Structure 1
Amino acid sequence: MPQPTSSQALAPDPAGTDLAAPTPGFPASKTAERAAAWIEATKPGITRLVTVTAGVGFVMAWLAPPDRMTCLRATLVGGACLAGTALSAAGANAINQWMERDRDARMKRTAGRPIPTGRATPTQVIGLGLVLAAAGVALLAVVNGVVPALVSLACVLSYVLLYTPMKPRTPLSTYAGTIPGALPPMIGWAAASGSGWDEQWASLGLWGGWALVALMVVWQLPHFFAIGWMYRDDYAAGGYRTLPVVDPSGRRTARAVLLWSIVLVPVSLTPAWAMPGVVGAPYAVLAGVAGLGFLWLCVGLARERTRDAARRVFFASIAYLPLVMLAMVAEAVLRTLAS
């Protein structure tokens, strides 16, 4: 999900430390500190968001009639899907932190991350990232099928090989960053659509899954432009060419936020069209109202072009997505229980 960061090459730990448990003479508190640093390197907040959106994709595909797996099977398959998604996302985030370690050290908001502070070595973080990403994709392939695994792999690769290298080069990186941020619902969608290649591959052609992807793509843009505005000096210090960095007046950034917040309103309604019988008018009304409220704050940013206005848009975007997805899942569940 639109904003990711950091990575390196797998090599033996020069300190020769045991990565699993405390050794004689090595205090348990140090082991706990190291574990905490490794967890922090996986960007738990972003990992959680990616996992939740994959879960939403799984639930929406599972509740779509007519061939629905049993609750027990859905629980087991869905649990594996969430675990695999979380592992692969955590791995991509750790790789991103390794890749951006030097730039992180130059930015106030990221200077406290594990590698810049010395709480974790670059070798440890890249090793952790590669292991977690591989484990997540492998788990999805074994339990959920090849198609969900391939979608997860696409998320990892687009994050570390496309989005991350583009950030210091072009403002278009934000658009590239929507790819790994928007595809996770399709991991869950494919995983819930059957166990065979043919069923899962066919599920990628259904509008329901792509309606979720479209929602994630469009939501990320005003969200990340607002972050970029709030921390533009920091991003400039890190050498990133985000739109707010190359747009000192803020006019282009404000127009972009306004444009994509306008687009978000109709796009947020597409799940009701793409999944008839699963969601409908109740979801559409709530999504429409939430979208218009968010648009109003984006209009305020376009008028004021201040950090406070960008901050309001940022926090509103954080509230908007879970509200809309919760409404979607809640209506789908209630319709299923009533049928």
Structure 2
Amino acid sequence: MTRVERPVCPAADHVRSLAALDERRAARLADWIELTKPGIVRMVLVTTAVGFILAALPRAWDMTALLLVAAACMLGTALSAAGANALNMAIEVRRDAAMLRTMRRPIPANRITVHGGVWVGVGLSVAGVGLLWIGCNPWAGAVSAVTILTYVLAYTPLKPVTPLATIIGAFPGALPPLIGWAAGSGDPFGGLTQMGGWSLFAIIFVWQIPHFLAIAWKYRDEYAAAGHKVLPVLHQGGARTSRAVLLWSVALIPVSLAPVMAIPGRIGLPYLIIALACGIGMLWFAVRLARDRSDGSARRLFFASIAYLPVVLFALVVDALARLALT
């Protein structure tokens, strides 16, 4: 039987090797992007943008200046958040490796070294704070620095120590709208003496607690394996978790109405109605969890919390823009 030799085609082999190289480079780039937790960065940017818009609306801006400050605010915040997330992943590598939902992240999966994650995290954090400081004002940079430091040096190491880490972590999680408020405000103190920015901080601070406890309920076995001290792990029956969810959901209703008084003339009745309706809806899901303490109720509460925040923030911005258009 005659054997037919395949012709050698160096050009085709070269093309295949280039394609394989491109795939490896794309995968490597994807790992570095994943290191920064882009989903969290997007949420941070949304809350920052709301703070910036509400603070900037009363000011008389030159369009070029507005665009430059807004761009510096968004890019600086994105870099800061990405850096903090990278540092968090580097610190939590062992705990992430013990959880199914996080073990495939770049550092616990050994696709990026801890050393590399730390250097990238520090570099992005410094660049973000610096850009906010120079491109916006020192107050925006300072708030960003506080956000990074409390997230990385307080919340992250306390997660395996105390369930109070959930509340401690809500502090840096609620600071991004203050970054935006400081960047957009013309106040000598970056608007940090004004109640408007703090009312946004309060909404996101309180919202985070039932939101995170719903997540912790769903993944309580994985959190237990990783050594996280969260209420659903420490109190298996769910009574304390459901009570905490209920209390924080009740508190969210009056807190969500605070911008009406804290930002007078920019926020009014339309926002109040929407925020009240959303708060009652969130509370309804919290009551259901308190009644049956089931995984299904926790899952529905989680999705309700996911819907709650963008609706309330969108209502804030639309109400403020509508009032400006009518004046």
Q: TM-score if structure 2 supplies the norm length?
A: 0.92
Deviation at 1:133, TM superposition (A): 0.7
Partner in structure 1 of residue 244 of structure 2: 256
Corresponding position of 1:205: 193
Aligned residue for 1:203, secondary structure, equals coil
SS of alignment partner, residue 27 of structure 1 = helix
Which residue of 2 is the match for residue 137 of structure 1?
129
- Distance of 2:195 and 2:93 partners within structure 1: 39
CA distance in 1, matches of 2:285, 2:19: 56
Report the Cα distance in structure 2 between the residues aligned to 1:42 and 1:243, rounded to whole angstroms.
Answer: 27
Quote the offset at 1:118 in angstroms: 2.1
SS for the counterpart of 2:277 is: helix
Match of 2:31 in 1: 37
Q: For 1:304 and 1:119, how far apart are their aligned partners in 2?
A: 42
Q: Which structure exhibits the higher relative contact order, with contacts defined as CA atoms closer than 8 Å and separated by 6 or more residues? A: 1
CA apart distance, 1:26 = 8.7
Q: Name the CA shift for 1:25/1:49 in 2 (closer, same or farther; >3 Å).
A: closer
SS of alignment partner, residue 107 of structure 2 = helix
Q: What amino acid does structure 2 have at the position aligned with 1:284?
A: L
Distance change (3 Å), C-alpha of 1:231 and 1:71: same
Matched with 1:124 is: 116
1:143 offset after TM fit, Å? 0.6
**1:55 maps to 2:49:** yes
Q: Is the contact between residue 216 and residue 232 of structure 2 (CA under 8 Å) also seen in structure 1? A: yes
Matched, 1:330 2:292: no
Q: Aligned partners of 1:146, 1:246: CA distance in 2, in Å?
A: 42
* Correspondent of 2:99 among 104, 107, 111: 107
8 Å contact kept, 2:183–2:190: no
SS class of match (2:229): coil
168, 177, 194: which one aligns with 2:169: 177
Partners of 1:28 and 1:128 in 2: CA distance: 23
Q: What is the CA distance between 1:123 and its match in structure 2? A: 1.9
In structure 1, what is the Cα distance between the partners aligned to 2:176 and 2:133?
15
Give the distance between the partners of 1:138 and 1:165, measured in 2 at CA.
25
Match of 2:206 in 1: 218
Q: Aligned residue pairs: how many? A: 310
**What letter corresponds to residue 142 of structure 1 in structure 2?**
I
1:25 Cα offset (Å): 12
> For 2:78, which of 86, 90, 93 is the aligned residue?
86
Unaligned runs of 5+ in 1: 1-23
Render the CA deviation track for 1:129-185: whole Å, top value 9, x for unaligned: 111111100101111111100000000000000000100000000000011100111
Paired residue type of 2:85: N
SS at match of 1:116: coil
SS at match of 2:318: helix
Contact 1:147 1:200 in 2 (8 A): no
Tell me the alpha carbon deviations over residues 20-78 of structure 1, each in whole angstroms, 9 at most, x when there is no partner: xxxx9992221211110011111111111111111100000011x3x332344222211
For 1:231 and 1:290, the matched residues in 2 are separated by 26
SS of 1:176's equivalent? helix
Alignment of 1:15-30 (within 5 A): 27-30=21-24
C-alpha RMSD over aligned residues: 1.4
* Equivalent residue, structure 1, for 2:5: none
Gap change, CA 1:77 and 1:202, over 3 Å in 2: closer
User: How far did 1:116 drift?
Assistant: 1.8
Q: Percent identity?
A: 52
CA distance in 2, matches of 1:332, 1:74: 18
Q: Distance in 2 between matches of 1:337 and 1:278?
A: 11
Q: Which residue identity is paired with 2:132?
A: L
Look up the SS of the partner of 1:159 in the other structure. Answer: helix
**In 2, Cα distance between equivalents of 1:247 and 1:273:** 38
Task: Look up the SS of the partner of 2:108 in the other structure.
Answer: helix
Query: Which blocks of at least 5 consecutive residues in structure 2 are unaligned?
Result: 1-17
- 1:172-199: CA deviation from partner (whole Å, max 9, x where unpaired): 00000011100111111011112xxxx3
Contact 1:148/1:188, CA 8 A, preserved across alignment: yes
Conserved 8 A contact 1:53-1:185: yes
Larger radius of gyration: 2
TM-score, reference length from structure 1: 0.89
Name the residue aligned to 1:15: none
Letter of the structure 2 residue corresponding to residue 133 of structure 1: S
Conserved 8 A contact 2:181-2:190: no
